[in-house]
Amino acid sequence: MKLAPVVAALDVRGSDVVLVHSGQHYDPMMSDVFFDELGLRAPDYHLGVGSGTHAEQTAGVMVAFERLLETLGADVVVVVGDVNSTVACALVAAKAGVTVAHVEAGLRSRDWTMPEEINRVVVDRISDFLFAPSPDGVENLLAEGRPPETIHLVGNVMIDALLANVERARRRPILRELGRIEGAYGLVTMHRPANVDDPVVLRALAGALVEVSKSCHLVFPAHPRTAHKLEALDLGPDITVIGPVGYLDSLALQAGARLVLTDSGGIQEETTVLGVPCLTLRDNTERPITITDGTNQLVGREPRRIVDAALSVLANGVEARKPALWDGHAADRIATALLGE
């Protein structure tokens, strides 16, 4: 979702874009479906790294990408987000003396237990182009001493993808297939280890979801590993657990929901632009603009707080707000900066 608009914006300007897939996300529902639905061409190279520990995965990408980079003669390596592939490719490029551009720079949760936070800070320190999605990202980068001339406030490429695809998503049959109608259900997504790997935490969160579901039916697309853990819990009749969904179905489910409960960073952004109330099941967020200028609330993992916030949103809704520059043209600004236009 972050890469497709950037590739399109560079392609239309006649740039020679080489697309590299690390293989970190290799399940068809976490990879292939996004290429298909976003109209993103097949990767020119696939590193095939696969799963493993953080060290194994990062090292695997670095070894494979270093060999490839030696043959490409690249002027710039563009990395997106905050996953292990992001930091691995950025490190390889920086050590090879190749310009590094980071899309989604400057986001900070200040939670060092999150591997993503370490990745963000490292990548931003070694990048030559820092493309921030929001003013708080610019402030974070300046506070960390990054040169002002390297920082570009461009907006959010996730929103480029959303605005280009949301109407197509609304035409998907997923609500009909689930027997749901728009505005008559809530959406749940959870994937972070802090929420789904600890049985005590997961049981408490499930209890909160059951309470919320008594007032609003919930749809919960779950990774098979999470779904297996949920089978041991009594979720009651008003929570529908389904398998992972593709990008368009995810947008359709968000757009039609009365509220969303999530631990995802991207969904905090998407719900803000869709005007859908979002309750984030975390104690911090690297996207505070979705709170100050959006529809998001941090509710943590304490069940009573989650239930009270959900019932309040169901009764009163939230004010629809959208950050500046989240207008569908972030990728154009990125391409302009990279090409010096």
Q: Are residues 182 and 305 in the same domain?
A: yes
For residue 104, tell me if it sits in a domain.
yes
**Domain presence at residue 143:** yes
Same domain, residue pair 300 and 330: no
Is residue 52 included in any domain, yes or no? yes
Q: Cβ(242)–Cβ(249) under 8 Å?
A: no
pLDDT at 30: 54
pLDDT of residue 49: 86
Q: Which of 25, 46, 191, 223 is catalytic?
A: 191
Count: domains in the chain: 2
Q: What is the CATH number of the domain that holds 236?
A: 3.40.50.2000
Q: How is the beta sheet containing 99-103 ordered, strand by strand? A: 76-80, 99-103, 129-132, 151-153
* Residues 263, 191 contacting (CB under 8 angstroms): yes
Phi/psi at 188 (5° precision): -120, 135
Q: Are residues 12 and 96 in the same domain?
A: yes
The sign of the dihedral angle between the CA atoms of 68, 70, 73, 79 is positive
Q: Is residue 207 part of a domain?
A: yes
Q: What are phi and psi of 242, to 5 degrees?
A: -125, 170
Would residue 161 count as lying in a domain? no
- Rounded distance, CA 248 to CA 251, Å? 5
Q: Is residue 221 part of a domain?
A: yes
Same-domain check for residues 187 and 295: yes
Amino acid at 88: A
> Which structural domain range is residue 247 located in?
172-316
Identify the pLDDT of residue 29.
53
Indicate if 102 and 224 belong to the same structural domain: no
Q: Each residue's pLDDT tens digit in the chain (341 positions)?
A: 899 999 999 999 999 999 999 986 555 555 678 788 998 999 999 998 887 899 999 999 999 999 999 999 999 999 999 999 999 999 999 999 999 999 999 999 999 999 999 999 999 999 999 999 999 999 999 999 999 999 999 999 999 999 999 999 999 999 999 999 999 999 999 999 899 999 999 999 999 999 999 999 999 999 888 998 999 899 999 999 999 999 999 999 999 999 999 999 999 999 999 999 999 999 999 999 999 999 999 999 999 999 999 999 999 999 999 999 999 999 999 999 999 98
On whether the CB atoms of residues 37 and 45 are closer than 8 A, the answer is: no
In a domain? residue 81: yes
For 102-139, give one letter per residue: b (16+ CB within 10 A) or e. bbbbbbbbeeeebebbebbbbbbeebebbbbbbbbbbe
pLDDT computed for residue 48 by the predictor: 87
The whole-number pLDDT of residue 27 equals 55
Return the closest-CA partner of residue 51 out of 75, 77, 83. Answer: 83
Residues 6+ apart with CB under 8 A from 84: 24, 54, 57, 58, 61, 115, 119
pLDDT of res. 257: 98
Please report whether residue 41 resides in a domain.
yes
Q: Both 50 and 78 in a single domain?
A: yes
Quick one: 136 and 249 in the same domain? no
Instruction: Kindly state whether residues 333 and 301 are assigned to the same domain.
Output: no
Q: Are residues 151 and 181 in the same domain?
A: no
CB atoms within 10 A of CB 145: 7
Closest CA to 192 of 301, 34, 270, 43: 301
Same domain, 107 and 240: no
pTM: 0.92
Helix axis angle for 115-126 and 84-95, nearest 10°, is 20
In the prediction, which pLDDT does 235 show? 96
136 and 184 both lie in a single domain = no
Is 228 designated active site? no
What pLDDT is attached to residue 20? 96
In sign, the C-alpha dihedral spanning 286, 292, 297, 298 is positive
Residue 182 shares a structural domain with residue 119? no
d(CA 252, CA 166): 7
E strand map for 50-178: 76-80, 99-103, 129-132, 151-153
